[in-house]
Structure 1
Amino acid sequence: MPKRLSMADLSREQLIQRYAQRLKGVLDEIVPQSPNESDFRYRVNRVLDDFCEKLGFEIELRTEYGLAGKRADSVFNRFVVEYKRPGELGDSLAHPKTSKAVEQLKEYLRKLARDERQDLARIAGVVFDGCFLVFVRYRDGNFAVERPVPATQATLERLLTWLSSTASGIALTAENLTRDFGIEQPRTQRILRALYGGLTTALQPNANDNPTNPMVNNLFRQWQVFFSQSIDYSEAFGGRKLQPLQKWARKAGIAIRSADEAERLFFVMHTHFALLAKLLGYLAVSRLLAPGVGASPLGSWLGDSNTLQQRLHDLESGGVFRQLGIVNLLEGDFFAWYLYAWNNHIERALRGILQRLDEYDPTTLALVPEETRDLFKQLYHYLLPREIRHNLGEYYTPDWLALHLLQRTAPELFETPTPECESQLRQRVLNTRFLDPACGSGTFLVLLIARLRGLGRALPIDERDLLNAILQNVVGFDLNPLAVLTARVNYLLAIADLLPHRKRDIVLPVYLADSIRTPAQGHDLYSHDAYTFPTAVGAFEIPAALCRVSVFDRFCDLLEACVNSDTLPDAFVQRVERELAPADWNAEDAARIKQTYERLRELHAQGLNGLWARLLKNNFAPLTVGQFDYIVGNPPWINWEHLPDSYRNATKDLWTRYQLAGTYKGGRPRLGAVKVDISTLMTYVVADALLKDGGNLGFVITQSVFKTAAGAGFRRFELPEQNKQRRPLKVLHVDDMVELLPFEAASNRTAVLVLQKGQPTCYHVPYTVWRKVEGARFSYDSTLDEVLAATQRHDWHAEPVDPRDSTSQWLTAHPAALNAIRKVLGKACYKAHAGVCTWLNPVYWVQKTYTHPNGDVVVQNITEGAKVKVGQVSMTVEPDLLYPLLRGRDVQRWHAQPSAWIIVPQDPNRPSRAYPEASLQVDYPKTYAYLKRFEKELRNRSGYKQILSRRGQEFYGLMDIDHYTFAPWKVVWTRIGRIQAAVVSSSAGKVVIPQETITLVPCDSPEEAHYICAIVNSAVFQFAAESYSQKGGKSMGTMHLLDHIHIPCYDPNNPVHRELADLSRQAHVIVARGDTARLGQVEKKIDELAAQVWGLTESEMDAIRQSLQTTDSDENNDLDS
C-alpha cells in the first residue's frame, strides 16, 4: 500500500486543492440557508484562516475584509476579500449590485495603497458572495476586472492561489531574474569568473601538447562547430570591437585580450545561461508535481560536494525531467562541461545560484497570466551591453511588438469573448495551429500560450483539453541549441501548472531544426529514395523507407543506443532490419545507414557525441508536424553576403526555386549581385511547405523588401506552381515602424508583414505608418498600450511605383496623395550616374601639402577612417591627373564644396578606360611611381579582381567614370540619407569629381543645372522619392530616382523653367552667405513653381501636404499656403 500523505507532506498546490474542496463543501451547506453577510464571512474565514495557518502565515481580519500580506517581492503583498451576502451578486458586471460591489473594492484598494504606501499593482482583491467571484487587480494603469465566475472547485482553487501568493517566495518574473542574476550581482560575477577560470585551466595544453581535460575540450569543440555557423567571433570582436567586451568582462574580474578569449567567455556565458534555464525548469515542475514523483527541492541539493555534483549530473543528463514526465526538455548539450572541470571555486559559485533560486516561487505564471512571457530574453538583454549584443547580431523582439504582430495576424483570437461567439471561439482555441519557424528563446510562443490560457479560463475550457491543445498546436523551430533549450524552458514554465492534468508524458514541441534547409528527398537516380539531413558536421543520408512518422523516431533511438554501446556496423544494420522491418528495403538502403552509422561512431570516438541522433530526430520535425493556420515570428535578417559559405551553397537552389535571386539580362540568376536577405527566403519556404491554404503569415521583417530593387523577387508574392495551379500570396497589411527604432535604436528598418496564402495581392495594400508623438517616450520593456499611447498611426496605401510591373518598388502615401504623386512619376528627361568608384579610397584620395615651382605637387594620401588600411605616404605627382574631390560630407542642400583631391589615372580620350600603363610611365612618371607603390593593394581590390582585370584594365583603373564625370556642370546629391541637391561646376580651374556615394546629373549649361537642382530640392520631388524609396537608407538617392520621377527637359523659352533656375541660384548664394531667413521664402516659391511643372492642382497639393504632415517637421519643407 502506498504511504498516505499527511497535511505536512502536501505541497502548496495539493493544499490548495484540498482546501478548495473543503470550502466548496461549506458553501454547498450554507448558501442554500441564505445567511446574512456576517455569518457567511465567519464560516468562510474559518476555512481561510486554517488554510493560511497550514501555509505558515496569518490572515488579518478587519471589519469587512480579509487581508493577507507578507514579503515585498511576492506577487501580491496585499490581498483583500470583500464579502457580500450570498445571492447578492449577478452573473454580469452590468448587474447593479455587482457593479457597486466592484467599485467599493476598487476604492478600498486605492485607500489601502495610499495608507500603507503600497504599489497599487501589488494589491489584488476579490468580491465573493458564495455563488460568484469577481477577481480584481490593477495593471497597466487601470483596474482589470474579470467578469463574475461561479464558485466552482477550479475558481475556488484560484481564490486560494491568489490568497497564498502573499506568503509565496520570490515571484518568478523577468524583473526579479534580471535583478538577481544580472552582471551587477556578485553571485553572477562569481559564477562567470569561476567557470572562465575552470575552462581556461581545462583547455591548457599539457606536456604532450594535448588539452589538460579532453572531455571539456571536446564539448567546447562541439559548441564551436554549432555556433560558428552563425557567429564569427574573430569578426564580431576583432580590433576595436573587442573594447566594449573587455570593459564588461572586467566587472566579473575577467581579462579578455583576443577574439579567441572572447569566444571562451561566450561559451561560459552560454553555460551559465543554460544552467539557469534548466534549474528554473526543474524548479517549476518539481514544485508542481512533487511529492508524488519524489522530486526533491533545490535546497536539498546543497549537502556535501558529492551530493551537489550528483544532483547536477542528474539534471544535465535530463533524467530528472524524464522522471517527471518531460521527455525532451534536455536532449544532451555541450554545457555540462563544468562537471568535468569541477573545483572549489565552481562549487561555491553554484551554491550561491541554487540558494537564491530556491527562494523563487514558479506559481507566479499561473497567478498573473500577463507575466507569462519570455523570462530569459530580458535577463540576457540586460546581462550584456547593447553594443556587444549588436556585434553578435542579436536583436530580441520586444514583447509589445510581438503582441502587436499576433493581434494583427490572428485578430479572431484577440477578440473579447461574448456569449454569442463562445462556441466558435472555443473551437478556435482547441484547434488553431501556430508555428514560429525561428522561435529564438520563445517570445511569440509564450505570448500565444498566455492568450490561449486566458481564453481557456474565460470560456472556460477543461485544463486537460487546453494542455493537449497547446502542446499540439503551438510549435517552434530554431537552429540555435541554446535558443531551443531556453524556448523549451519558457514553454514549460508557461504550461507548468497545467502539468498535473496531463494524460501522458509531455513532448515540448520546440525543435532544433532549420525551417529553410529541411531534409529533402533526392531527385537524381542515386538519391531519389533517400532524404538528406543537413547538420553542422555534414549531411546524413537516410533511406526514405525509414523516414516515416511511425518509424523514424525508433530508428534514431536505436542509432543512439548502438553508438553508445559501440555496436559493430553490420550488427547495427541487422538490428534495424529485424526490429524496424522497414518496407521497400533494399541493399542500397542498408549501405546508406551503415555509412551514416560509421560516421556517427567516428564522431563519438572524437568526443563529438551526444546530439547527432537526436538532431536527426529534431530535423525530421518539419516533415511531420503538419501545416499551420498561422505562422508568426521574427525571422533572421541576414544578408546573403554575410551567410556562411556552406549555407549559401546549400540554399542556392531554393533562392532560384522561389525566384528571389534576381536575374541578369539574359535570365541567368544573379544571387549575390543584389542585397537579398534570408528573411525573404524563410518567408517563401515556410509559406510554401508549412502554411495551410487560407492561412496567415505574420513576420517582423525589414522594410527594405518593399522599397529596394533587391526586393523585386519577394514582391512577386507568388509560390511555385503546383499541379499547374497558381499559388499566390495576398498581402493583407504592412506596418511601417522604421522611425520607431523598436530594436534599441538599432537602425534596422522594421516592418510587420501579414499575408494570406491562396489569394492574389490586390493593390492598394493597407500600409500603416507609425510615428512617435512629440515628447513621448517608450522603451524596450514598454507594454503595447504604452507604445500605442506614445505613437500615432497613419493609414496609408501601398502600390507598385510602376503600374506595369507588380514587382517594382512600392509607392506608399496617404490615399488621397497617391493620385497626385502619379502625376510626378515617370521617366525623367535626364539620366543620373554614380560618382567615381575606386574600391580603395586611401590610395586615390589625397591632400596637397606643397607645390613645386614647376607645378608638380607633393600629396599625402588620406587614410583616416578608411575601412582598408594602407600605409600613409608623401610623394610628388604631376598636377595633370589631380582633380578636386567632392565627398559625401561636402554636399549640402544648395551648397557643394570640394575638400580634398583625387588622382584619376584615366585616358582623357576614353575616360571609361585607365591610362595605358606604358603611356602613364612616360607622360606621368611620378604619378605612376605613386600608384606602383600600392600595386599589391590595388590588385587585391574586389572590383579589380571581379571586373576590371577581366576587361584587361590596368591595375590602377577606376570604375563608374566616363565623359559624364567630366561634364562642366553637374547637379549632385548624396546617395545615402536624405536627398539634398546642389550645383557644382569647377574648382581651382578643374572639373570636380564626385565620389561613388554621390549621384550626379551632367549638364551643358548652368541654367539647366540650376533648373534640375530646384526641381530635385522641391518638396514634391522629395515626397515622391520618399514615397517609393527607402527614406534615409543607403539607396535613397541612387540613380533610379530619375527612372521613376519625371523631370521635363529644360526649356529656356519656358518662364517657369527660367524662374526655377534663377531661384536655385539665389538659394546657393543665400546658403553661402548664411542668410537662412530668406531661404524659406525662396524654397516656398520653388515648391509652387515645381507644382506647376507637374500640373498639380491645389487639391492635389493639399493631399501631398497631408501626407507630409506625418513626417518629422524638421525633415521637410513647410508647404502651407
Structure 2
Amino acid sequence: MNKEKSTLILNYFHRVKSANKELPKKEAFKDLLNRLYHGDKEIERVIDKISLGSETTILDIPRKDKMHKGSADTLYNKIIIEFENDLKITLNHAKEQLAGYLLGQFNAGEGYNFTLIASDCITWKVYAPDISCLEKINELNEEELILNEIKSASFTLTEKNAEDFYYWIDRFLFKEEKQRATLRRIEEAFGYQSIVFIECFREMNNHFKAAKKYGEVQVSFEQWSKFLSIAYGSYEASESNFIIHTYLSVFAKMLAYAVVSNDAYIDDAEMKAIIDGTIFHKFSIRNFVDDDFYHWVKSDRNFKALKKVFRLIAQEITTFNFHEVDEDILKGVYQELIDLDTRHALGEYYTPDWLCQRVLQEFDLKEGKRVLDPACGSGSFLIAAVHRFRELNPKISVEEINASIYGIDIHPLSVQIAKTNMLLALGKDVVNARTPVHINVILANTLLAPDGVDDLFGNQFKMQIDKDTLELSSKILNDVKIFDEALELAEELAEQTYNKKKATEETFETILRRQVRGGFDKQVIESFYKIYGSLRTVKEKGRDSIWKFIVQNLYKPYFLSKSFDYVIGNPPWFTYSSVRNEEYQNILNALADVYDVKPERVANFPHLEIAAIFLAYCSSYFLKDNGTLAFVLPRSFFSADHHDNTRSGKAKGFRISQVWDLDGVSPLFRIPSSVLFAQKEKDNSKRNLPAGGLDGISFSGNIPAHNCNLESAKNALTETNTKWYYAKQGSSTAFSNRKYKAQNKVNPYKDGFRQGATIVPRSFYFVELTQETPNDFSDRIINIKTSDAIKADAKAPWKNIELSGRIESKFLFRTALSKSILPFALYNPDLVVLPITVEVNESNQKEIKLHSADELMSEGYLNASRWFKSAERFWDQLKTENNKEMSPENYLNWQGKLINQNLDTPYLVLYNSSGLNANAVVLDREEYDIDFIVDHKTYLSNYSNKKEALYISGILNSTIPNLMMKDFQSRGLFGARDVHKKILDIYFPKFNEEEETHIRLAELSKAAHKKAAQYIKDNPPQKELTAIHLGRMRVEIKKHLSAEMKEIDKIVKKLIG
C-alpha cells in the first residue's frame, strides 16, 4: 500500500478521535472511502448509498462471480453497519439493531448473505448468528437471536495499524484484491460464523428433509455414523453433523480444483465433475474423490437442488491466492466444524504445524524411504513429510514424493481433507506428473487387520455389507492386486445382473479366472462370489453406492504389513471405556492381549488410551525391521498406572528410544503432552529402558500462536537435553529425570485408606437450609433446597436441577469435598441429605442402612420419600446408558463405599483425592452435631488413637512426600492434579508411642491443627473457595505454620529416609 493511503487513514483516525458525535464520524468514514477508492465507479456508487442520517447502513456489494458467465449471475453481499457514537456505551443497542434487521430480511424471504458490523468508526466488531439459531431462525425474535462476535475478524484502528485497516476495509467491504490463503482467513471465510457456511447449511438442511427418504442416502448416513462411532469411541450421529461434514467435503473438492486448474469460470457440467471427482482425472489425479458417504450430493436430483450451495463455495474460493501455501490451511475450519455439536472430541487434539515439522527433523527422509501416518486427521504430518522430502532431496519428483507418503484415518471427512492438503502440498507440479498420481490416503480402521488375520480371527473372518454378514476366507487378503481386481469384477457383474437373473457360481468362476490373473482355490472363489451376491442385493434394494468403496478401503491396511521405514502421527486420545461400539471393543481387547498392552490391574484397563494399542500394533505391523516410530501422546504415558507396560518394555513390538516432554510449551493441547520415539524391536530382552537412562528433550516456551510454523515458533522455544529414567516408587512407576533408589518396603497405612462414597449427582444430595438454623438436628422437620454452592461445579446433564422441600432431620449428614480440606483444617463441611438410616446393632455399633424412596414411604418418612422420589424421576430421565440398570441409591453406594463406612471410631484422617499436594486433617466425630459421611473426593482412614491420627496427618501435610510423588502424579495444564494413593506409595513407619520422634510429630501436628483453626477464624475466606482461592488459602496456612512445618519436614525426612 502506498504512503498516501496510510496518510489518509491516519488523518481519518485523528478526525474521528476529535469528533464527539456519531454524524461527523460517519461523514469522516464516507470521505475516507471516497478518497481511497477514487476513480472506481462501481465502488463510488456503493459509497454514495451510505446515508448520513440513519444509524443502520446497508450496502449491496456486487460480488464478481469469476466461476460463471453472464450478468444474471452477479451476487450481492449485504454489508450491514450499525453506527454508534461509542461502542463501549451502546454495544448492546447496536447488536439488537443488527439482530432486528437480520430477522426482518429472513422473514422477507432473503437468504443469508450478510456481513454484520457494529462500529463507532474506530472499533469495528463483526458478528454472526450462533449455530444453534440457524435451524429455527425464522421463529426467533431479536431478543432470542444470539449474535457472536467473530473476534479474529474484528478490528480496532490505532496510529500504528493504518495499513492493516486498508486491507481490512478491502477484505470485508469490497474484496478487490485476492487474499493469501492462511489458516485464519480460510477459517473466517468458510467456518461456522462465515456467510458461506451459514447460507450453505440452511440450503442443505432444507433440502436434506426430502433427500433422506431415498435408500442410498440412508445407507450413506448409517455407515457414516458407524465409522464415526469408531473414530470417536462413541458418537451421537445427527443430521446436522452429517450435513456439515458434507459441506466440508464439497468445500475440499472445490478448493482442490482451484489449486490444480486455471479455469476462469465453471459451467454446470464441470461443477458436477468436481463433485463426483471425474474432473481430476485430466490432471493426472486418479483417486481424489471416491464414492464415499458424501457422494449423495452428486445425483441429478440433489445436484440440481444444491447448485446454489456449490456456487457460493466456489465464488468465495476465487477470492484467495493458493500459491506458496506453507501450512495446513484447512486445519482450522476442519477443527471447528468437524464436531460442532459437542465442540470437544477429536478436534481438540489436532497437531500444530510447528510440532509436525520439528518431529520430521528427526528423520532422514531420503529418496525411496516410506512414511505412514496411521491416524492422519487433516494431514498435518503428511504435509510436513512432503516438505521434509523436498528439503533433503531438492530434485525429487512429485510422483516419488507421493509414492513415499501414506495416511490412514477412520474419519471419512478427515480422509478427504487430508487428500486436499496433500494436493496443496504437492502443488501445481502434480498436473505435470508423468504417470497418474494416486494419493495414498485411505479410509480404514488402522487396527482392523492385525498380524495376519489368521492369528487373531482364524482362517475365516466376517465382512458386513449392509444387512448381510459374510463368512469369508482370509485367503482373499493374500494379494492386494487380486483383491482389488476381483472386487471391481464383483461390482461390475452386480451392476450387469441388477434386476436380472443372478450369475451362478460356475459362471462367476469362469469370468473371474478369465478377467483376473492369479491362482484361485475353491474357498477364494466362494468368498468373492458371496461378495458379488451381496453387492447385487444392495443394488436391488436401492441401498447401494458406497459398499464397494467401504469394502475396498476397509481392508487396505492389511496389505501394508512391514512396508514403512517411519511411522509418525498423533493417534486417538480416548480411552477404552469411552468405546461404545461392541465389535470395536472386542478388537481392542484382543489386541491389548496380543501386544501385552493390557494393565496388570483389571480395574485400570478401562482407562487405557487407545494410543497405547496404536503404538504397539503400528510398530509391529507396519514398520520394516529397524524402522522408527514417533507418536504425539498425552503426557499420562509418563506416569499413569495403566501405561506402565508401555514404559517398562513389557508391551511388544518396540523399544522406546527417545522421549520429548512438551509440558512447558504453551499454547499447545488441552492436556499435557509428549512425543515418544521408538525402534521396532522383536527381542523381548532388549525392550527395557537402559539403567543409565534414555536421551530426550524437555521443551518450554510461550509460542506466538497455537498453530504457527516452526520458523515462527523456534525463537520462543527452548530445548533442554534431558536424561529420562524408568523410576519406581511403591507400586507406581514413571519416566523421571531423577534417579530413584529402589524401595522394597510397603507403606503400612496404604491399604487402610480408601475413597468415600460417590455422593453424586450433587444436586440431589448437597443442600442448604431455607430456614433459620435450629439449635439442634434432633427429631425435626427441616426446610431445605439444593445448595447454591455446588451449582457452579455441577456437570451435564444434572447442571440445572434444583430440588426443594422438607426433610426429616435424621437424613441430614455432614461431608467434605476436596476443597474443604486445608492443611490441618476442615473448612465449612457441606450439609447433605442421604437415603440412609443409622441404626445401632446388638454389639452396640452403628450400622448404615440404605433405602429406596418407596421403602422410606413404607417406614413412614413421607418428606424423605418425596425428596428421593423426585431425585429418582430426574435419574430415570437423565441417567446414562451405563447406568440404565442402576437406581440412584445403588449408584450412591457403589462398591459399598457408603454403607461400609465406620461411624464408631472417634477419629478420621482425611486427605484430598485431587490437587497439587496432599492436604490432611484429623476429624474428631464428637465435635459434629450429626454423623459425618465421607465423599469420594476425599480419602479416609479410621483411628482410635488420636496421636496416631495426628502423626499420619503430619506426614501427609509435609513437603517431603509431596515432592517425592510429583513425577508419579497425573498432570493437567496447571501441573500435578491428582493425589489418590500416590502419596501412600512412599514408605513411612507405623506409629510407635515408644518412638520419641513419632510423639514429637504428633505434638507438632496437634499444634498445627490448633493454629490453622484459629487462622481461619481470624481470616475467613471472603468468597466461595474456587480452585484459585483454595490454592492461595492452602499456601497462606502453610506460611502461617512455617515454624511447625520446618520441624515437621525435618522429622519426616528422617522417617522416610
**TM-score, normalised relative to structure 1:** 0.66
Could you tell me which of 474, 485, 488 is aligned with 1:554? 485
The residue aligned with 1:981 is 920
Q: Do structure 1's residue 1053 and structure 2's residue 1007 form an aligned pair?
A: no
**How far is the alpha carbon of 1:179 from its aligned partner?**
4.5
**How far is the alpha carbon of 1:449 from its aligned partner?**
0.5
The residue aligned with 2:817 is 887
Q: Secondary structure at the match of 1:281?
A: helix
Q: CA RMSD in A?
A: 4.5
What is the one-letter code of the residue matched to 1:649?
N
The residue aligned with 1:132 is none
Q: Do structure 1's residue 357 and structure 2's residue 317 form an aligned pair?
A: yes
Classify 1:1043/1:618 alpha carbon distance in 2 versus 1 (closer, same or farther; 3 Å).
same
**How far is the alpha carbon of 1:589 from its aligned partner?**
3.6
What is the one-letter code of the residue matched to 1:357?
I
Q: Do structure 1's residue 487 and structure 2's residue 488 form an aligned pair?
A: no
**How far is the alpha carbon of 1:892 from its aligned partner?**
2.9
Q: Secondary structure at the match of 1:326?
A: coil
Distance 1:561 1:315 in 2: 24
What is the one-letter code of the residue matched to 1:189?
I
Contact kept? 1:1020, 1:1090, Cα under 8 Å: yes
Classify 1:560/1:519 alpha carbon distance in 2 versus 1 (closer, same or farther; 3 Å).
farther
The residue aligned with 1:835 is 756
Contact kept? 1:223, 1:334, Cα under 8 Å: yes
Distance 1:974 1:919 in 2: 34
Q: How does 1:596-611 map to 2 (within 5 A)?
A: 596-611=531-546
Distance 1:580 1:450 in 2: 39
Unaligned runs of 5+ in 2: 1-159, 168-175, 1021-1032
Q: How does 1:342-353 map to 2 (within 5 A)?
A: 346-353=306-313
Distance 1:946 1:350 in 2: 45
The residue aligned with 1:751 is 674
The residue aligned with 1:399 is 353
The residue aligned with 1:453 is 390
Q: Do structure 1's residue 180 and structure 2's residue 145 form an aligned pair?
A: no
Distance 1:886 1:315 in 2: 62
Contact kept? 1:707, 1:810, Cα under 8 Å: yes
Q: How does 1:187-198 map to 2 (within 5 A)?
A: 187-198=196-207
Distance 1:894 1:536 in 2: 63
Classify 1:693/1:1072 alpha carbon distance in 2 versus 1 (closer, same or farther; 3 Å).
farther
Instruction: Note the alpha carbon deviations across 1:126-151, whole angstroms, 9 max, x for none.
Output: xxxxxxxxxxxxxxxxxxxxxxxxxx
**How far is the alpha carbon of 1:483 from its aligned partner?**
0.8
Could you tell me which of 242, 259, 265 is aligned with 1:300? 265
Instruction: Note the alpha carbon deviations across 1:711-757, whole angstroms, 9 max, x for none.
Output: 2333343355xxxxxx55234213142774513xx3x3322222222
What is the one-letter code of the residue matched to 2:959?
A
Q: Do structure 1's residue 442 and structure 2's residue 366 form an aligned pair?
A: no
The residue aligned with 2:565 is 629
Instruction: Note the alpha carbon deviations across 1:472-504, whole angstroms, 9 max, x for none.
Output: 321111111211111112112211333355332
Could you tell me which of 1084, 1087, 1090 is aligned with 2:1049? 1090
Q: Do structure 1's residue 762 and structure 2's residue 664 form an aligned pair?
A: no
Instruction: Note the alpha carbon deviations across 1:49-70, whole angstroms, 9 max, x for none.
Output: xxxxxxxxxxxxxxxxxxxxxx
Unaligned runs of 5+ in 1: 1-114, 123-166, 204-210, 236-259, 288-296, 302-306, 366-370, 414-427, 665-669, 721-726, 1101-1121
Contact kept? 1:837, 1:995, Cα under 8 Å: yes
Could you tell me which of 237, 243, 260 is aligned with 1:268? 243
The residue aligned with 1:23 is none
Q: Secondary structure at the match of 1:1095?
A: helix
What is the one-letter code of the residue matched to 1:376?
L
Distance 2:882 2:848 in 1: 13
Classify 1:593/1:913 alpha carbon distance in 2 versus 1 (closer, same or farther; 3 Å).
farther
Give the count of matched residue pairs.
833
Q: Do structure 1's residue 970 and structure 2's residue 908 form an aligned pair?
A: yes
**How far is the alpha carbon of 1:965 from its aligned partner?**
5.8
Classify 1:432/1:321 alpha carbon distance in 2 versus 1 (closer, same or farther; 3 Å).
same
Contact kept? 2:757, 2:935, Cα under 8 Å: yes
The residue aligned with 1:18 is none
**How far is the alpha carbon of 1:687 from its aligned partner?**
1.2
Moved more, 1060-1069 or 645-654: 1060-1069
Q: Secondary structure at the match of 1:430?
A: coil
Contact kept? 1:834, 1:1039, Cα under 8 Å: no
Contact kept? 2:338, 2:347, Cα under 8 Å: no
**How far is the alpha carbon of 1:554 from its aligned partner?**
0.8
**How far is the alpha carbon of 1:342 from its aligned partner?**
5.0
Contact kept? 2:256, 2:420, Cα under 8 Å: yes
Q: How does 1:525-564 map to 2 (within 5 A)?
A: 528-530=458-460, 532-533=462-463, 540-547=470-477, 548-564=479-495
The residue aligned with 1:643 is 579
Q: How does 1:211-360 map to 2 (within 5 A)?
A: 211=213, 216=217, 219-230=220-231, 263-287=238-262, 297=263, 299-301=264-266, 307-308=267-268, 310-339=269-298, 340=300, 346-358=306-318, 360=320
**How far is the alpha carbon of 1:684 from its aligned partner?**
1.2
Q: Do structure 1's residue 504 and structure 2's residue 435 form an aligned pair?
A: yes
Classify 1:387/1:651 alpha carbon distance in 2 versus 1 (closer, same or farther; 3 Å).
closer
The residue aligned with 1:1104 is none
Classify 1:498/1:515 alpha carbon distance in 2 versus 1 (closer, same or farther; 3 Å).
same
Classify 1:1078/1:685 alpha carbon distance in 2 versus 1 (closer, same or farther; 3 Å).
closer
Q: Identity of counterpart residues, as a percentage?
A: 19
Q: Secondary structure at the match of 1:269?
A: helix
**How far is the alpha carbon of 1:698 from its aligned partner?**
1.2
Classify 1:583/1:1092 alpha carbon distance in 2 versus 1 (closer, same or farther; 3 Å).
same
Distance 1:363 1:915 in 2: 70
Q: Do structure 1's residue 676 and structure 2's residue 608 form an aligned pair?
A: yes
Instruction: Note the alpha carbon deviations across 1:357-416, whole angstroms, 9 max, x for none.
Output: 345554424xxxxx1x32211233466898853167553211122223333xxx253xxx
Distance 2:182 2:797 in 1: 47
Distance 1:634 1:621 in 2: 20
Instruction: Note the alpha carbon deviations across 1:207-249, whole angstroms, 9 max, x for none.
Output: xxxx3x66555544554444354469985xxxxxxxxxxxxxx
Classify 1:936/1:1062 alpha carbon distance in 2 versus 1 (closer, same or farther; 3 Å).
closer
**How far is the alpha carbon of 1:627 from its aligned partner?**
2.7
Classify 1:755/1:357 alpha carbon distance in 2 versus 1 (closer, same or farther; 3 Å).
same
Q: Secondary structure at the match of 1:754?
A: strand
What is the one-letter code of the residue matched to 1:192?
F
What is the one-letter code of the residue matched to 1:981?
A
**How far is the alpha carbon of 1:319 from its aligned partner?**
1.6
Contact kept? 1:907, 1:916, Cα under 8 Å: no
Distance 1:357 1:671 in 2: 52
**How far is the alpha carbon of 1:990 from its aligned partner?**
4.2
What is the one-letter code of the residue matched to 1:277?
A
Distance 1:378 1:264 in 2: 22
Q: Secondary structure at the match of 1:994?
A: coil
Classify 1:884/1:184 alpha carbon distance in 2 versus 1 (closer, same or farther; 3 Å).
closer
Distance 1:225 1:509 in 2: 23
Q: Do structure 1's residue 729 and structure 2's residue 655 form an aligned pair?
A: yes
Classify 1:613/1:322 alpha carbon distance in 2 versus 1 (closer, same or farther; 3 Å).
same
Distance 1:966 1:477 in 2: 60
**TM-score, normalised relative to structure 2:** 0.69
Instruction: Note the alpha carbon deviations across 1:803-849, whole angstroms, 9 max, x for none.
Output: 797xx420524x3xx45x87899625453221123565555544456
Q: Secondary structure at the match of 1:713?
A: helix
Contact kept? 2:335, 2:347, Cα under 8 Å: no
Distance 1:385 1:614 in 2: 24
**How far is the alpha carbon of 1:914 from its aligned partner?**
3.7
Classify 1:532/1:621 alpha carbon distance in 2 versus 1 (closer, same or farther; 3 Å).
same
**How far is the alpha carbon of 1:779 from its aligned partner?**
2.4
Classify 1:509/1:1079 alpha carbon distance in 2 versus 1 (closer, same or farther; 3 Å).
closer
Classify 1:679/1:913 alpha carbon distance in 2 versus 1 (closer, same or farther; 3 Å).
farther
Distance 1:385 1:613 in 2: 27
What is the one-letter code of the residue matched to 2:578?
H
**How far is the alpha carbon of 1:885 from its aligned partner?**
1.6
